[in-house]
Amino acid sequence: MFVGRENELKILNRVFLSKRQESVLIYGRRRIGKTELIKKAIEDFDGEYIYC
């Protein structure tokens, strides 16, 4: 289940849709859902992306 990250997903979506070249850094303590946040953002995004 993925709950409570709507603001972060909106920010990532805005970056994904930007016409500018932008980078994103996601950091935090271990086991708080950083990877799941990225996976969910990519799943919701309909476009080209590179997963590194």
Ordered by start, the domain boundaries in the chain are 6-44
| Band of residue 52 on the pLDDT scale cut at 50, 70, 90 | low
Place 2 in a pLDDT band, splitting at 50, 70 and 90.
low
Q: Give residue 3's pLDDT band: very low, low, confident or very high (50, 70, 90).
A: confident
* 2 Cβ contact list (under 8 Å, min separation 6): 36, 40
Model confidence pTM above 0.85: no
Structure tokens belonging to residue 36? 């799941």
Instruction: Give pLDDT tens digits for 18-29.
Output: 889 888 999 999
Closest CA to 38 of 19, 17, 22, 5: 5
